Structure 1
Amino acid sequence: MNEMELNDRIKVNQVGYVPGETNRAMLAGEGGGDVFRVIDTATGETVLEGELSQPVMDEDAGETVREMDLSGVTKFGEYRIEVEEVGYSHPFRIAADVYERVFMEVTRSYTLGRSGVAIEDPVTGLSHPGGHRQDAEARLDPDFPDQAADEPIDVSGGWYDAGDYGKYITPAATTVAQLLLSYELYPEAYQSLELHIPEGLADPAQAAWPDVLEEVKFELDWMLKMQREDGAVYHKLSGMQWPGMIRPDQDTQPRYLFGMSTYGTAMYAGALAIAARVYVPFDEAYASELLASAEAAQQYLERHPDPRFVKTARQDAGSGGYEKSGDRGERYWAAAELLKTTGEARYAELLETMLATQAAGQVETIGWASGLSLGHFALATAAGAPEQHQATARRLLVEEARSIVARSEADGYRYALQSEQYTWASAKNGMALAQLLLLADQLEPQTANRAVALEQLHYTLGRNTLGTTYVTGAGHVMPRNPHHRIMVSTGAYVPGLVVGGPNRYGGDPAIDRVLQEQAPPPAKAYLDIVDSYSTNEYAIDYNAPLVFVLAGLAR
């Protein structure tokens, strides 16, 4: 028999698997033997032999898929899979701590995306002198209708949102909310998490804090600066031109505050209400400041009950729009979170009215465009909430979890994403489904919730039709050329960035051309090139559900 070769038809989680779980690999396409073997790469010994499942057609991938059950391998080590007449897989680890490194890198990426500070990182080699110092003297959009654009406003700090240099309230709020909720639910996962914050960036006053809370505070401090005196929150901060692939310090154009939205203000209130709970044991005065700011935003919303989004002619000339219609789900989330944090009866009364107007039976993945499911979870777990309303919120999340499980079990790759969900940020959307499973599991534990959440993680980390992870630095085949100005301009490779993933609808000239000329299946509509910003750009809210899921799955 000829010597076997690496064959990417064999799909594995390239980071690895946790022993004791139901662990699977996949064989894509036609042909090959019916027997697989798991080989210990250190000894060359076969540790498991099994039969492949019957093929199942995966329509989104455009190919048949066969499963290989690896669950019988429980000894820590490095392995590979061999299939006769096919070849062997990339190596993978089996260990209890197999996800610790990617958990650290995905969380640490926020540190390396800080704005306004010099970065000298000995871990990645990332080095730049810091940029956008002009954010300390930002101006209001000259066309802003609500107030005169006269005095400069200090909105320095925070994280760059994505591959560009804009900073936006809606993804900031939902990112902070997910990170803090994961800490609140799974504090043990963060006990040993060290972000190796570079010298000069760590705050000595926070030395005893969990690293994740120190990092999130850097973003919260920026968010606080984005609040107006009337309680509303500006929509975003950016220049009026898209910068080229240059370092932050080379983007010297004036920076402006643009827009205001009631949905963004509500997201801000919800996120800061969570933060007010989480930071109490570490800095009670800071927690009080956060709560007061959240309540000021809520009071603005109550004074202005109709949805409002301020948008001017030049608002999106140099930054992302982050525009959506409606704000009911976000108002609901804000009120539920404030009830959970304060226990004040007035928020329960407000929710009583809101529940009649919310989309009954609806659950949405968490992201910059929706805080609805965060509202459901807050209501379901808030002391003092009316029992019948808690039961409704609990039922919605639990029923959605059952639906996600059913979709996963019917899919060739056990991926729960529906065909139409292979859109902008599909990789994030998949992890957001896993996140919903873990939230539902907090309310009504089911073995399938954790198991299917793991299936979504396996897909993201390489067990998919393209055989790539969607996280920089993770696995053997990974995004090498993300649309990311800091990486391109400095030449440093930053691990831990979740990229957009397959996008069947396109959105940039490169992928649009592929879609037109090749018509790939939805799950294959991805390009690992810098120019494909609709499939290969990172964003802070893409990372957030992965951080949440990795914390939730840690044992």
Structure 2
Amino acid sequence: MKSKKIIALMSAVVICAGMITSYSGFQTKAEASELNVNLITNGNFDTDLAGWGNFTTNGGEGEVTFEDGELKAQVNNCGDEQYSMQVYYDGFKMYKNAKYRLEFDVSSTINRTIDYRIQLNGGDYRSYVDGQVKISKDVQTVSKEFTMTEKNDPSPRLAFNIGKVAGETPEAHSIKIDNVKLILLDDTGADMQDEKPKVEQKIVLNQVGYKPDDKKKVVFRAETKDRKFRVVSTATKEVVYEGEITGLAYDNAAKETDCFGDFSSVNTPGTYRIETDSLGSSFEFTIGKDVYNNLFKDAVRFFYMQRCGQDLPEELAGKWAHPTCHTDLARIYGTDKKIDVSGGWHDAGDYGRYVVASSKAIADLLSAYRDNKEVFGDDFNIPESGNGIPDVLDEVKYQLQWMLKMQEPASGGVYHKVTCANFPGQIMPQYEKEELIVCPISTTATADFAAIMAMGYENFKDIDASLAEKCLAAGENAWTYLEKTPNSVVKNPKGISTGEYGDTDDSDERYWAAAELFKATGDSKYDEAFRKMANSKIQAGYDWSRVGHYGNMAYLSAKGADQNVSNNIKNYIINEAQDIVALDKNDNYNVSNGTDYYWGSNMQVTNNAVLLAEAYKIIPNKEYLEYAKEHINYCLGKNSLGMSYVTGYGSDYVKHPHHRPSTAQGEAVPGMIAGGPNKNLEDPLAKNLLKDKAPAKCYLDNSESYSTNEVDIYWNSPFVHAMAELNMK
């Protein structure tokens, strides 16, 4: 799965922490190969532009190509900022107090000024060295020696800003760059000391704990000679259980050999550790009926913490409190028309609001409520707590009210998203002051909207009849738009570099919409539309880009559903559940990713837990629930990094998520699940520090590793959904 993010301005600087064997990527002294050689591996452009990137923003227009052994940048419009067009190179390191020389050749078809810099690739993007150079048709060599005065940076950026310069309004032109060099001249006195390595956790399990009757497994991450393990009470130091260490299996995703233990018979409430003679001790964990209560509440409260367009007071939001944000009217892209789209949830680590992402998140929360109402009380510490309505419905209502604003009333089509043109820095939401832009209508957003509005009607018709009727009318209006509008391919409009949520096929979204509208209305036209699509192809997926299973669950629970279609859906779900269990059994940590760890891999883990729980309702195979819970155990520490991917929970948990409020305030909001390992290394920090790592270990607890450590509403939502389905609250 490709990430929704198209990020050009964001990278990393903070030295990584939280890895199973933590290291910054620096040695105790410079590697011999780094001294007096070019750190830019493709600075001569002999055959291509490998390693180089570029972007345009804020009105910049142009393209970058390889021509005659040089990098050629065709600048058609300089835009509004120096960085409105940028050519950049990532993939090198810099050391504090080391001396460098930056050198390059440059020319232009017109006389103009450009900016060059090596910068912190995130945060405030401050420069370590910079300068401006007036360029012309004559090739000139620019050379500058400097000393790195700031702390070690494992992933800086070399940037050529070829956008607007004050006092210049150049016509279209081209710039050529060649022979780019960055030479480490002298490391005398350089600070190359590594962080103290983190002790590798050899005994891993769910660090939060277990309910008394749960299956309880532990993984020993070594070819140990120990044949016994002990469960020890942390209160009394008493050994309460001694078990066998069994098996010896190689895990291809983690590139390690492990052994295993089972202590399911330990069910007395308390706090414990697991020990062996040679491997030491595990982190402590708790056994108790209410072991997940606080975790579950914080995972749900995350949505309140993401509220946009509303004051979050300190008594409810703590240090992450902020005044009302993003309330200005937003301009519809390509027009001068402005509309009110205030409200809703900030999507992720950024402050954009996206219809398709919101749709998955709402679907998970409403499905969780549908399947286990008992776990959702009216006491989750949000403004509406105590009003007699489950807080999860109050939270969904807040988002539904925003989504209704995203529908174009006349046509019924739904705008894809509202963001600024670019992502902001690591600031609190009230400080993002750039123009809000509503991106064009898409059929994927419209179909998702139709499905969600039908779900809104179902869940609020007995609570808030006015809202319910408004939702249903909006959903049916969206369907009318879909009936006369073909599939639209979704891409970011020109000049917009925020989350794309691109999609080329809306068939699964229409499938979901038809099922939910049929369930809500009983209208045969929706049934006919759904059956036609299902008989052609049963759709699957709990992702934002593949939403078929939401349609399947809706149809299975609809009155008057066709029995043959329903049976085909059930068979499909059972077959998929069997495939998941087979993958679980073949993985030392009992999860179903195989070796396919991609952007947001923890979403796949929790989505599969949901599917197994749904399959159990069709065929009560106990393995489905057992392995569904193992997926949650994985998220809470039973994984090859030995850490909990949920902020604030466990002994070793995510502390530096890619989440602007958390970074700005210096502490992570609790209850957020990180995206998790991503073998594709899609941010500069990951590329620099995770080379050659096993797929399941391609993760950094670093706020600038956005491809492994971002949080998102539609990653928390399946986590909540799975915990509710499995009664893990």
The TM tier, using the shorter chain, reads over 0.9
Match of residue 21 from structure 1? 214
Whole-angstrom distance in 1 between the partners of 2:546 and 2:212:
35
Equivalent residue for 2:623, pick from 426, 448, 451: 448
Letter in 2 for 1:235: H
Equivalent residue for 2:312, pick from 119, 124, 128: 119
Deviations 1:337-390 (A, max 9, x none): 1111111111111123222443x5x532x1211111111121222111111111
The TM-score with structure 2 as length reference comes to 0.71
Match of residue 408 from structure 2? 228
Whole-angstrom distance in 2 between the partners of 1:10 and 1:310:
45
Match of residue 352 from structure 1? 531
Instruction: Report how far residue 281 of structure 1 moved.
Output: 2.0
Instruction: Report how far residue 168 of structure 1 moved.
Output: 0.4
SS of the counterpart of 1:324? Answer: coil
Change (3 A) 1:105 1:228: same
Whole-angstrom distance in 2 between the partners of 1:411 and 1:310:
36
Whole-angstrom distance in 2 between the partners of 1:175 and 1:54:
39
Letter in 2 for 1:74: N
Match of residue 80 from structure 2? none
Change (3 A) 1:384 1:305: farther
Instruction: Report how far residue 123 of structure 1 moved.
Output: 6.2
Instruction: Report how far residue 127 of structure 1 moved.
Output: 4.0
Task: Check the 8 A contact 1:65/1:413 in 2, yes or no.
Answer: no
Instruction: Report how far residue 104 of structure 1 moved.
Output: 0.4
Whole-angstrom distance in 2 between the partners of 1:140 and 1:42:
61
Equivalent residue for 1:296, pick from 463, 477, 484: 477
Letter in 1 for 2:686: I
Task: Check the 8 A contact 2:320/2:669 in 1, yes or no.
Answer: no
- Report how many residues are paired: 529
Deviations 1:176-212 (A, max 9, x none): 011001101111121x462111xxx438xx8110011
Of the structure 1 ranges 519-528 and 260-269, higher mean CA displacement relative to structure 2 is found in: 260-269
Whole-angstrom distance in 1 between the partners of 2:303 and 2:323:
15
Match of residue 343 from structure 2? 157
Instruction: Report how far residue 442 of structure 1 moved.
Output: 2.4
Match of residue 418 from structure 2? 237
Equivalent residue for 1:72, pick from 245, 248, 265: 265
The TM-score with structure 1 as length reference comes to 0.92
Task: Check the 8 A contact 1:502/1:526 in 2, yes or no.
Answer: yes
Match of residue 518 from structure 2? 339
Match of residue 417 from structure 1? 593
Match of residue 112 from structure 2? none
Report whether the alignment pairs 1:60 with 2:253.
yes
Unaligned runs of 5+ in 2: 1-198
Equivalent residue for 2:559, pick from 374, 383, 401: 383
Task: Check the 8 A contact 1:104/1:194 in 2, yes or no.
Answer: no
Whole-angstrom distance in 1 between the partners of 2:378 and 2:578:
32
Bigger Rg, which one: 2
Match of residue 145 from structure 1? none
Report whether the alignment pairs 1:550 with 2:710.
no
Instruction: Report how far residue 554 of structure 1 moved.
Output: 1.2
Of the structure 1 ranges 406-415 and 346-355, higher mean CA displacement relative to structure 2 is found in: 346-355
Instruction: Report how far residue 70 of structure 1 moved.
Output: 1.3
SS of the counterpart of 2:707? Answer: coil
Q: Aligned runs of 1:398-547 on 2, under 5 Å?
A: 398-420=574-596, 422-516=597-691, 519-547=692-720
Whole-angstrom distance in 1 between the partners of 2:354 and 2:316:
28
Instruction: Report how far residue 259 of structure 1 moved.
Output: 2.3
Task: Check the 8 A contact 1:134/1:252 in 2, yes or no.
Answer: no
Of the structure 1 ranges 478-487 and 379-388, higher mean CA displacement relative to structure 2 is found in: 379-388
Letter in 1 for 2:338: P
Change (3 A) 1:193 1:15: farther
Deviations 1:7-47 (A, max 9, x none): 61000100101111221111112224110010111111111
Letter in 2 for 1:104: K
Match of residue 3 from structure 1? none
Task: Check the 8 A contact 2:204/2:219 in 1, yes or no.
Answer: yes
Deviations 1:469-525 (A, max 9, x none): 111111111111111111111334310111110000011100011243xx1000000
Instruction: Point out 4+ residue stretches in structure 1 off by more than 4 angstroms.
Output: none
Match of residue 398 from structure 2? 218
Whole-angstrom distance in 2 between the partners of 1:331 and 1:123:
39
Q: Which has the higher strand share?
A: 2
Task: Check the 8 A contact 1:345/1:384 in 2, yes or no.
Answer: no
SS of the counterpart of 1:513? Answer: helix
Change (3 A) 1:357 1:453: same
Unaligned runs of 5+ in 1: 1-5, 143-148
Instruction: Report how far residue 308 of structure 1 moved.
Output: 4.5
Task: Check the 8 A contact 1:499/1:538 in 2, yes or no.
Answer: yes
Q: Aligned runs of 1:168-317 on 2, under 5 Å?
A: 168-190=354-376, 192=377, 194-197=379-382, 201-202=383-384, 207-229=387-409, 230-309=411-490, 311-315=492-496, 317=497
SS of the counterpart of 1:482? Answer: coil
Whole-angstrom distance in 2 between the partners of 1:324 and 1:407:
28
Change (3 A) 1:304 1:166: same
Deviations 1:210-252 (A, max 9, x none): 0111111111111110011211110111111221111111111
Whole-angstrom distance in 2 between the partners of 1:7 and 1:38:
20
Match of residue 90 from structure 1? 283
Change (3 A) 1:311 1:85: closer
Match of residue 368 from structure 1? 544
Instruction: Report how far residue 134 of structure 1 moved.
Output: 3.6
Change (3 A) 1:10 1:270: same
Task: Check the 8 A contact 2:511/2:533 in 1, yes or no.
Answer: yes
Equivalent residue for 1:141, pick from 330, 333, 339: 333
